[in-house]
Structure 1
Amino acid sequence: WYMEKIFPVGRRVAKVVRPVVNRVTQMPLIGDDRVFEAMANFYDRLDGIRDILGDPEITSTRLVMNPEKMVISEARRTYT
């Protein structure tokens, strides 16, 4: 949701505000376009991983546990 709704607006605001901030201070407060591009690329890669992990034809789940009451309860909680 964030990457679809907020991220593009933040990117445009940063593009407009960056020159003003750079004139006022020497500190690089707002990342350049490469930072935003890297974030978008990272999000796209994570989205691809979500597709792979969510496909039951490719990925399965196995819960490995010790036969102790607390461990079994935690595994049951994790699975549901």
Structure 2
Amino acid sequence: MFIHKGNDEMYEIDIADGNCEGKRDAGEIVNKALKKLDPKFRIVVAMRLLQGYSTRETAEILELPVGTVLSRLSRAQEQMRKIIEKF
């Protein structure tokens, strides 16, 4: 999965690298759910939860207010929950 970072920089995230079958299946489900998210939510999830950036760092990199990052993360988590429930 490619995630937009900054102005024109792109980087790839693949979280389906677990050693056991259960982890791989869960990673595949999460990857599929992430792909269904709106890109503005996907980037926040990727940066905060997968890449480990703080809320402040995420806001600075994306040039967004901290409150916007927090609301997008919350909305993304709710959407992810609904998407994953369908699997």
Which is richer in helix? 1
Which is richer in strand? 2
Same fold (TM over 0.5): no
User: How does the TM-score come out when normalised to structure 1?
Assistant: 0.35
User: How does the TM-score come out when normalised to structure 2?
Assistant: 0.32
Structure with the bigger RCO (C-alpha within 8 Å, sep 6+) is 2
